[in-house]
Amino acid sequence: MSTPRMYRIEPDALNELIQSLRQQHYTVIGPTPRGAAIVLDEITSTSQLPIGKTDEQAPAQYRLKERGDDAMFAFSAGPHSWKRYLFPPVLKLFSSRKNGEGFQISEELPSSDHEEKYALLGVRACDLSAIQIQDKVFGGGTYQDPAYVRVRNQAFIIAVNCTRAGGTCFCSSVRTGPRARVGFDLAMSEVLDSEHYFIVEVGTDRGENVISTVTSRAAEDGEVEKAEHLIRAAAQSTGRSLEPDNTREILYQNSDHPRWDTVAARCLSCANCTMVCPTCFCATVEDTTDLAGTSADRIRKWDSCFTLDFSYIHGGSVRPSSKARYRHWITHKLASWVDQFGTIGCVGCGRCITWCPVGIDITEEFRVIRETYLMKRGTNPNKE
Amino acid sequence: MKKERKPKLAIWKFSSCDGCQLSLLDCEDELLAVAENIEIANFPEASRLVVKGPYDLSLVEGSITTPHDAERIHQVRRSSKVLVTIGACATAGGIQALRNFKDVREFTSIVYATPSYIETLNKSTPITDHVFVDFELRGCPISKVQLVEVLSAFLNGRKPTTPTYSVCLECKRRGTVCGLVTHGPPCLGPVTQAGCDALCPSYHRGCFGCFGPKETPNTPSLAEYWKGLGMKNLELLHLFRSYNAYAESFRKESEAHEK
């Protein structure tokens, strides 16, 4: 399509959209307040959205707040990411039964006709980039992950552009947001001033078919511009940044930087950063047997490079110290990821900063190392 | 096919509350399978019948707190091919290891009418301080899922899958929102070994550290961070000094805040 198709829908029509998706047998996953945070779960109506709620985020800190208005998407990336649905935390790969001297593997699990057909509502630009990165990891290359590819291909994506910068995120510096560019079926921007409406951009024919089932009209230029202005303002008010260029040289040349010791003294090697990261894709495979030894299951679980077992080979763990593990994580995320997949593995969502129990900030750790690199090259980092 | 002899299982109790060995009876769904595949040869909580040793597998519950127990554990070891300790008492000295930080004679003189009847050691110590232990299963109490896993691994001649990483991985897999970050109660999850499937945080409680220190626990960093948030030394001492008070890193951390 040449010019993006833009519609205006009212908040009530968003509910029509959810119902329409449900009628098309989608399980709609969206943000919903639960306890102390806005999490992702199945929603069946807009009343379950975090209406009038927002979050305040800082390193190791997340607080849910009331806004006192009707905003539905006035919050930032929360504790859950969409990878829970595309790359489930625990997945049974197969069962096997003893069969005489050998064994027989059951039908592949989960069987594809029982797999969920998800509509992901409220995917932020950073998370949209994260999904595209995981598409390369699981769906690209010679060996594809069949479970991921099946669920992913069926997923309907409704992005939501950010009109407010979160306390720990930095998408504009890593060029992933706050505006969703590609990879969505529909992308919405919420406008709430004298009126409350959504500008909906259509990304695919599938998106066009769905939006045609709800009450809408073509958006006027002024309405679109109002939304664009809010997105630009969000980009300008971002408090953190991570400079994504030359990350490979910077990190590869600084594996002995004293900063690794400083951060290792703080790092708990608890793995929270990797669990909340929307691009971290590591998993372990565990086999369990029943007591009689007649059947065995193979189960895949989210794993982390922060565990000792992760790098355990004959003779011991390759990365016994927290220093080695933290350095490995950030070096993979920002440098060797480029060698592997062509982009850095960080999308600037800020989750690893918010959900680190001691508030380690990836942007700050990288900034210190980058400064040393620039200093050695004779570039003043403040004037650069 | 020749009918093979079922492996003989014995359960031994030292200083403990019996909660861990009762986890075996708690297995319910798996109990019949256990009984089908294992001869329960010595399990006073379930049956008075005691089959003579030697035993293929011994599960040892409890810590060593008396001179008599310090002798008896050697007999248990001699009669066992494989010895597995179960629970925080057997692997770290248990809650009764709180005595290790104080003078036991002072306690007995206050508590008992005739303290001279009490024959007890100054310290409550884990089984591994006394005899060779083949495998340690953590928890206060142990997880029945992990117990079945250990039995199943033993019967099938494989290594049990009992991860030594933090509780946080289990919390995040479950999708539980972190209490530490959302102003919930103090939580030892980031320094505690997984195995309970992050039970307490899923009920909005902090982790109490029942499964003891995880691999490479960084307790000083967590304590330092909490101090920065205004936590007092006494609170820190109490957090680290509970069910696994005498496990090395928890012991050192509680001692660091002893003032």
Length of chain B: 259
Structural domain contains residue B161: no
- What is the distance between the alpha carbons of residues A368 and A346, in angstroms, rounded to a whole number? 17
Q: Which residues of chain A have pLDDT under 70?
A: 1-4, 108-114, 380-384
Q: Are the beta carbons of A156 and A185 closer than 8 angstroms?
A: yes
Chain B: residue whose CA lies nearest to A100: B1
To which H or E segment does residue B219 belong?
A: helix B219-228
Pair (B40, B126) in one structural domain: yes
Smallest Cα distance from B149 to chain A, Å: 8
Q: What is the Cα gyration radius of chain B? A: 20
Whether residue B207 sits in one domain with residue B136: no
Residue with tokens 């199943």: B152
The CA-based angle A267-A126-A25, given to 5 degrees, is 115
Looking at residue A382, its pLDDT comes to 63
Per-residue three-class SS string for A105-123: ECCCCCCHHHCCCEEEEEE
The helix (H) or strand (E) run that includes residue A40 is strand A37-42
pLDDT at B15 over 50: yes
Sign (positive/negative) of CA torsion A107, A109, A114, A117?
negative
Same-domain check for residues B128 and B187: no
Partners of B12 in the beta sheet? B60
pLDDT tens profile A89-129: 999 999 999 998 899 998 766 665 667 899 999 999 999 99
Tell me whether residue B18 is in a domain: yes
Sheet of A295-302, strand order:
A102-105, A90-99, A295-302, A283-289
CB contact under 8 A, A270 and B190: yes
Burial class (CB in 10 A: 0-12, 13-18, 19+), B176: buried
Of A182, A282, A6, A105, nearest to B173 by C-alpha is: A282
Out of B155, B179, B201, pick the residue that ends a domain. Answer: B155
CA of B114, closest CA in chain A: separation in Å? Answer: 48
Helices and strands per DSSP (H, E), number in chain B? 11, 5
Q: B27-30: long-range contacts (C-beta < 8 A, 24 or more apart)?
A: B27/B144, B27/B147, B27/B148, B30/A291, B30/B144, B30/B148
CA distance B125 to chain A (A): 27
Asked if A289 lies within 8 A of B158 by C-beta distance, the reply is yes
For the sheet with A186-192, list strands across it: A37-42, A27-34, A118-123, A156-160, A186-192, A196-202, A5-9, A217-218
Cα dihedral A287, A292, A295, A297, rounded to 10, equals: -20
Scanning every residue of chain A, which has its alpha carbon at the shortest distance from the alpha carbon of B166? A270
One domain, residues B56 and B135: yes
User: Which of B167, B170, B172 has the most A C-beta neighbours within 10 Å, making it the best mutation to test the interface with A?
Assistant: B172
- Say yes or no: B23 and B77 in one domain: yes
pLDDT tens digit sequence for B169-207: 999 999 999 999 999 999 999 999 999 999 999 999 999
Token pair of B184 as six digits:
């919930």
Q: How far, in Å, CA of A308 to CA of A318, rounded? A: 8
Query: For residue B31, what pLDDT is reported?
Result: 87
Classify the phi-psi angles of B157: left when phi > 0, otherwise alpha if psi is within -120 to 50, otherwise beta. Answer: left
Give the distance from CA A59 to its chain's centroid: 18
Q: What residues have CB less than 8 Å from A2, skipping those under 6 apart?
A: none
Distance of residue A271 Cα from the nearest chain B Cα, in angstroms: 7
Strands A316-317 and A312-313: antiparallel
Q: What is the pLDDT of residue A378?
A: 83
Q: What pLDDT digit, counting tens, does each position of B231-241 carry?
A: 999 999 999 99
pLDDT (average), residues B217-227? 98
Q: Do A291 and B183 lie within an 8 Å CB cutoff?
A: no
Tokens 């970050």 found at: B181
Residues B144 and B240 grouped into a single domain: no
Tell me whether residues A79 and B177 touch, CB distance under 8 A: yes
Alpha helices in chain A (DSSP H): 11-23, 83-86, 125-134, 146-154, 205-211, 221-236, 247-252, 259-266, 272-276, 322-331, 337-341, 351-354, 362-376
> Is A291 in Cβ contact with B182 (below 8 Å)?
no
- Interface contact flag, A322 B166, Cβ < 8 Å: no
Same domain, B144 and B172: no
Name chain B contacts of A60, Cβ cutoff 8 Å. Answer: 180-181, 225
Q: What would the DSSP string read from start to end of A246-309?
A: THHHHHHTTTT-THHHHHHHH-----HHHHH-SS---EEEEEEE-TTSSEEEEEEEE--TTSTG
User: What is the residue-averaged pLDDT of chain B?
Assistant: 95
User: Which among B37, B168, B178 has the least Cβ separation from residue A291?
Assistant: B37
A329 is written with which tokens? 């994580």
Are A271 and B165 a contacting pair at CB < 8 A?
yes
**In this predicted structure, what is the pLDDT of residue A2?**
46
- Burial class from Cβ neighbours inside 10 Å (0-12, 13-18, 19+) for residue A316 reads exposed
CATH number, domain containing residue B46: 3.40.50.700
pTM for the structure as a whole = 0.95
The whole-angstrom separation of Cα B205 and Cα A60 is 18
| Same-domain pairing of B22 and B104 | yes
Counted domains in chain B: 2
Q: DSSP string covering A292-326, please? A: TSSEEEEEEEE--TTSTGGGEETTEES--SHHHHH
> Which band of pLDDT confidence, cut at 50, 70 and 90, is reported for residue B1?
very low
Chain A: give the shortest CA distance to residue B105, in Å. 39
| Residue A159 · residue A188 · CB < 8 Å | yes
B chain contacts of residue A301, beta-carbon cutoff 8 Å: 173
- Indicate whether B42 and B139 sit together in one domain: yes
| ipTM at complex level | 0.95
Spatial separation of the C-alpha atoms in residues B110 and B93, rounded to whole Å: 23
Q: Indicate left, alpha or beta for B220 from its phi (over 0: left) and psi (-120 to 50: alpha).
A: alpha
Tokens of B207: 């982790």
In a domain, B69, yes or no: yes
Same domain, B107 and B23: yes
Residue linked to tokens 């660091």:
B256
- For A271, the closest of B164, B166, B217 (CB atoms) is B166
Nearest CA in chain B to A290: B152
Which of A267, A276, A358 is closest, CB to CB, to B172? A276
Residues of B with CB under 8 A from a CB of A: 30, 33-34, 36-38, 148-149, 151-153, 155-156, 158, 161, 163-166, 168-169, 172-175, 177-184, 189-191, 204, 214-218, 221-222, 225
Instruction: Flag whether B160 is in a domain.
Output: no
List the single residue in A63, A275, A290 with the smallest CB-CB distance to B172: A275
**Angle (nearest 5°) at CA A207 between A202 and A208:** 75
A86-117: burial string, b at 16+ Cβ within 10 Å, e else: bbbbebebeebeeeeeeeeeeeebbeeeeebe
Cβ neighbours of residue A163 closer than 8 Å, sequence gap 6 or more: A73, A74, A178, A189, A190, A191, A227, A230, A231, A233, A234
- Domain endpoint, select from B100, B126, B155: B155
Co-location of B188 and B120 in the same domain: no
pLDDT of residue A112: 58
pLDDT of residue A128: 98
| The pLDDT of residue A1 | 43
The residue of B154, B177, B183, B229 whose CB has the most chain A CBs within 10 angstroms, and thus the best one to mutate to test that interface, is B177
Please report which confidence band the pLDDT of residue B42 belongs to, taking 50, 70 and 90 as the band edges. Answer: very high
Question: Does the residue B1 lie in any domain?
Answer: no
pLDDT digits (tens, 9 = 90+) for B99-130: 999 999 999 999 999 999 999 999 999 999 99
Which whole-number Å values give the CA distances from B201 to B177, B178, B182, in the listed order? 8, 8, 12
Residues B107 and B145 in one domain: yes
User: What pLDDT score does B80 carry?
Assistant: 98
Mutate to test the interface with B, among A268, A277, A323 (most CBs of B within 10 A): A268
Which range marks the domain in which residue B238 is found? 167-256
Contact A292 B30 (CB under 8 A): no
**Chain A residue numbers touching B156 (CB-CB < 8 A):** 289, 293
B3 lies in some domain:
no
Cα-atom radius of gyration of chain A, to the nearest Å?
22
How is residue A274 written in tokens?
Answer: 């990797």
The closest CB to that of B155, out of A39, A80, A291, belongs to A291
Q: Do A357 and B177 touch (CB under 8 A)?
A: no
